[in-house]
């Protein structure tokens, strides 16, 4: 059952000038990897949904945040200090890997930007699953905590600069990606990406039921 509780900020680590991971007390919150929570500063009305970045077995909660211009929540969270209190509602959602598919399929994670969050949670929770992570960003420094993933399973797609993996959007990478019948596809990112990727995969013969999506705006 979703609950609303106070949680204490314990750490903030910056990944770029505008992107950071906010860590706060878990306080026994139970969640399934892939779910999201609603976060805001205690006593304030503004709140926003964030996928949980930490793993199911971690003793803390984390979210990955990118500061948005004129964004009420992200700018305030950026200035959090250890000991600040957050109001957290949740968890919510059903995005994730079904238990009976976990070890029987290849899991293809497709993310743009901070849409990588639920996949980070999945890999921390089940490091031995058969996965490939395709991450689309503008610049290579937005490959958030790339070292957390098996380097043979992480593919970076950069739209604004060259990198050894792929120069271009995830859609251009997927155009040449070979799909097999034992693959399940998980999409998390902006609406345009999920729409385009969905149709690319369907054109490649992937059944609709093998495509699971979580849309970020």
Q: How far is it, in rounded angstroms, from Cα 60 to Cα 16? A: 22
Q: What is the mean pLDDT of residues 194-217?
A: 91
Residues of the chain with CATH 3.40.50.80: 99-216
With a threshold of 0.85, does the pTM exceed it? yes
- Sheet holding 85-92: strands in order across? 48-51, 36-41, 85-92, 3-14, 19-25, 60-66
Q: How far is it, in rounded angstroms, from Cα 155 to Cα 137? A: 11
**CA-wise closest residue to 215 among 18, 36, 91:** 36
pLDDT at 1 over 50: no
Residues of the chain with CATH 2.40.30.10: 3-92
Q: What does CATH list as the number for 99-216?
A: 3.40.50.80
DSSP symbols for 179-209: P-TTEEEEEEEEHHHHHHHHHHHHHTT--GG
- To 5 degrees, how large is the angle CA 134–CA 138–CA 140? 75
138 token code pair: 């503008």
Asked, as a colleague might, if the bond just before 202 is cis with ω within 30 of 0, I would say no
Which secondary-structure segment (H or E) carries 102?
none
13-26: per-residue pLDDT in tens? 999 999 999 999 99
| CATH for the 3-92 domain, from 3.90.420.10, 3.20.20.70, 2.40.30.10, 1.10.10.10 | 2.40.30.10
Q: Give pLDDT, residue 68.
A: 87
């Amino acid at each position: 059952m979703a609950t609303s509780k106070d949680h204490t900020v314990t750490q903030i680590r910056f990944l770029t000038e505008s992107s950071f991971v906010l860590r706060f007390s878990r306080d026994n919150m139970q969640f399934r990897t892939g779910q999201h929570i609603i976060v805001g500063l205690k006593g304030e009305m503004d709140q926003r949904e964030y996928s949980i970045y930490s793993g199911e077995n971690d003793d803390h909660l984390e979210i990955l945040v990118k500061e948005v211009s004129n964004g009420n929540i992200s700018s305030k969270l950026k200035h959090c200090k250890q000991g600040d209190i957050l109001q957290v509602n949740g968890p919510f959602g059903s995005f994730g890997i079904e238990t009976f598919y976990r070890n029987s399929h290849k899991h293809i994670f497709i993310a743009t930007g901070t849409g990588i969050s639920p996949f980070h949670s999945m890999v921390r929770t089940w490091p031995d699953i058969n996965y490939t992570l395709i991450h689309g960003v503008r610049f290579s420094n937005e490959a958030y905590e790339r070292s957390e993933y098996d380097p043979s399973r992480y593919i970076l797609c950069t739209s604004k600069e060259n990198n050894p993996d792929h120069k271009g959007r995830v859609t251009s990478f997927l155009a040449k990606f070979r799909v097999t019948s034992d693959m399940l596809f998980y999409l998390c990112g902006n609406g345009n990406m999920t729409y385009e990727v969905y149709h690319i995969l369907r054109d490649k013969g992937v059944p609709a039921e093998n495509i699971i999506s979580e849309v970020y705006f």
